[in-house]
Amino acid sequence: MNNPFETINQRLSNIETLLLDIKHKPIEEEKPENLTVKETAELLKVSEQSIHNYIKKGYIPAKHLGRILLIKRTDLDNALTEVKSLKYKRA
């Protein structure tokens, strides 16, 4: 008859390896490629009018699709990194 502690230890080590695999596995969220003004405002936690002002000033590039303004997520990320880098360049 097998030692019951060996089976328990074996099962615990299996659980531990599974948990480590889950911990180190990157979680990929499905992010839409294009955002509306409303989605962008919610993402940045600002008003929709602020987003319209940023687009008008040229801080955030946007494209018209009929009456809807669409903002590419990559363009938004690039615009945010430019703002962050400008913050530290000024002295």
Longest C-alpha distance within the chain, in Å? 78
Tell me, what's the pLDDT at 35? Answer: 94
Beta strands in the chain, from DSSP E residues, in sequence order: 34-36, 63-65, 68-72
Q: Is residue 18 one of the residues assigned to a domain?
A: no
Q: Is residue 79 one of the residues assigned to a domain?
A: yes
Q: Is residue 69 one of the residues assigned to a domain?
A: yes
CATH of the domain at 49: 1.10.10
- The pTM assigned to this predicted structure is 0.58
User: Tens digits of per-residue pLDDT, 66-85?
Assistant: 999 999 999 998 888 876 65
Q: Is residue 8 one of the residues assigned to a domain?
A: no
Question: What would the two tokens of residue 16 be?
Answer: 């531990």
Q: Is residue 80 one of the residues assigned to a domain?
A: yes
- Structural domain count of the chain: 1
* Contact indicator for 83, 59 with CB cutoff of 8 Å: yes
Q: Which domain holds residue 83?
A: 34-89
User: Tens digits of per-residue pLDDT, 9-45?
Assistant: 999 999 999 888 887 777 666 677 899 999 999 999 9
Tell me, what's the pLDDT at 90? Answer: 53
